[in-house]
Structure 1
Amino acid sequence: MSLPASLTRSLDRFYEYLRSERELSLHTQQNYKRQLTTVAEQLLELGVSDWHALDAGWVRQVASKGMRDGLKASSLAMRLSALRSFLDYLVHQGELKANPAKGVSAPRKSRPLPKNLDVDEMDQLLSVDENDPLSVRDRAMMELMYGAGLRLSELVGLNVKDISLSKGDLRVIGKGDKERIVPFAGLAREWVGIWLKMRGQLAAPGEPALFVSKLGQRISNRNVQKRMAEWGQKQAVSSHINPHKLRHSFATHMLESSGDLRAVQELLGHANLSTTQIYTHLDFQHLAKVYDQAHPRAKKTK
């Protein structure tokens, strides 16, 4: 489609600005040009032939057309971002009084649900029967992540003094430096105890970390990820193993067994219940059933 000069003049000046003043890469410049050319063509189809005539209503129509055309949320966000930057440029140049795209946002990107392992897969992963220090350490880490629902950073940040085997609890520092006490029992407690007896074979003198690398210092996030992925392959688990998958499996299995969303929220260290709902893909029917059974005003009166 051939665009009128009333639309292309400002666009050409903006492209030159991106090239000479902002010094953006050629790839980024081409992305801007591709997105803005599409916007200009759509506006022309809608009867808008001058940038001065653009208002928030027209911008919303551009966004709506993108959604009708099946554009992904991320692609639509990119298109609106390019338009917003261009209109900011026109405001800065004195060609527009305000940016009509400021109040128009793309729909939220869908949040992919993390995958969890079923109970049989967890048993398969955790059936580590090797008794060398590194294997015992790895099983203790995996048992603890699954047994207490820890984040990777929380696991790596644990010190020996944070663990109480006698009480069956541990102290973790979560997001926002918030401290919480987390219970752990059963096999997690057993294998942490086994590891503590062997830890001295690897840990450097004075090292406070609960889990250490073969160099004797606190194990890194990357090392934990690598070791768990290797164990997933070694134990012939069908899906890729990573620390987050163990945490999510903990949350899913706890919720399936207890139905107690608030308790799972506390165990995971989530500040907001909505985060836990997404994390554990709790279905609405369960919430509705709990509401109907528990709320005093939900029951029908005779």
Structure 2
Amino acid sequence: MLSDRITDYIHYLRFEKRFSRHTLDSYQKDLEQFRDFALEQFSLDSATNISHFHIRSWLAALKDQKQSPRTINRKLSSLNSFYKFLLRQQAVEKNPVRQLHALKLPERLPSYMKEQETQHLLEELQFDEGFKGFTDRLICELFYQTGMRRQELLQLKEADIEWSLQQVRVLGKGNKERLIPVHPVLLDELTSYIAEKKIMGLPDDGHLLVLENGGPLYPVYIYRTVKKYLSIATTLQKKSPHVLRHTFATHLLNNGANIQAIKDLLGHSSLAATQVYTHNNIAKLKEIHKQNHPRG
């Protein structure tokens, strides 16, 4: 049955690939959605009987539901990865997804803050008083100074800070580890923060940043915190943790960093994902040219 195959695949992703809970949930939701569609529309409950025709019908239904091209492509990618797994398990003879093509996406440049806006955020803006404000400011500092993802920040431990080498060890997608340099001033702030946790007698489960009661941070808390302070510091429409990640990469590029180095710092698996930041760089050059050249 298709449900059993999906269970086996999710088990594989969890225990062998060691994917995050968030990623596992996304894969499972996508695959179960396709399973339900195949069963309801075609009375199919076996991976071997599914063809590219059935999958194309599913994609058409998603379009009718006004799903975005990006979302549809993600679901198609989930199904493709699932069938690759089934091929390795010799549970199917072919991958029907290979006969389909991903939808063309509109070009979407990353939103990022100007340098004066990040300066206002981190040096001039008043955060809340007390331990909560301390935590919130460090959330914003870490996102901007390291470019890490929200999930990476959530699982960051005190033991991941390499104090003598002035760097932080981050566990990224696919359980890949990378090292990111951090400024000594940020290390001093983290030292004070850890000392404050001990003074407050908060329970110690190893997490670097915690709530006022010592409990671990959670995704919505981080999102709301970043949105709150970015709403004060910038006029950007988007105000999420990923904006600070984009800002980290864009400011590095604008100040002369090598694109390969930025790729490694961000934890991208391919250079293609990082090259989107060069478009922002070109847009900035065009703006400078227009403002300063006599024939601009």
Shorter-chain TM-score above 0.5: yes
Aligned-partner Cα distance in 1 for 2:196–2:218: 19
User: What TM-score, normalized by structure 2, do the two folds share?
Assistant: 0.58
Where do 1:1-302 residues align within 5 Å? 74=69, 103=99, 105=101, 107-126=103-122, 127-130=124-127, 131-200=129-198, 204-233=202-231, 235-239=232-236, 240-281=238-279
Once superposed, what is the RMSD of the aligned Cα atoms? 3.7
Paired AA for residue 140 in structure 1 = L
Paired AA for residue 116 in structure 2 = D
Aligned-partner Cα distance in 2 for 1:121–1:190: 23
* C-alpha contact (below 8 Å) 1:202/1:213 kept by paired residues: no
Aligned-partner Cα distance in 2 for 1:256–1:171: 25
Note the C-alpha offset of 1:176.
Answer: 0.3
Q: Secondary structure at the match of 1:166?
A: coil
- The alpha-carbon distance between structure 1 residues 216 and 111, as it changes in their structure 2 partners (threshold 3 A), is farther
- The alpha-carbon distance between structure 1 residues 128 and 205, as it changes in their structure 2 partners (threshold 3 A), is same
Paired AA for residue 132 in structure 2 = L
Paired AA for residue 124 in structure 1 = H
**Unpaired runs of at least 5, structure 1:** 1-16, 23-27, 36-71, 82-100, 286-302
User: What TM-score, normalized by structure 1, do the two folds share?
Assistant: 0.57
- The alpha-carbon distance between structure 1 residues 111 and 206, as it changes in their structure 2 partners (threshold 3 A), is same
Percent of paired sites with the same residue: 27
- The alpha-carbon distance between structure 1 residues 73 and 134, as it changes in their structure 2 partners (threshold 3 A), is closer
Q: Paired residues, what number?
A: 205
Higher helix share: 2
Q: For residues 15-55 of structure 1, what are the alpha-carbon distances to aligned partners after superposition, in whole Å with 9 as ceiling and x for unaligned?
A: xx967969xxxxx99x86x97xxxxxxxxxxxxxxxxxxxx
Aligned-partner Cα distance in 2 for 1:248–1:208: 28
Q: Secondary structure at the match of 1:258?
A: coil
Note the C-alpha offset of 1:194.
Answer: 3.0
* C-alpha contact (below 8 Å) 1:149/1:267 kept by paired residues: yes
Note the C-alpha offset of 1:178.
Answer: 0.7
**Unpaired runs of at least 5, structure 2:** 1-38, 45-56, 77-96, 284-296
1:42 aligns to what?
Answer: none
Aligned-partner Cα distance in 2 for 1:104–1:21: 22
Aligned-partner Cα distance in 1 for 2:281–2:179: 28
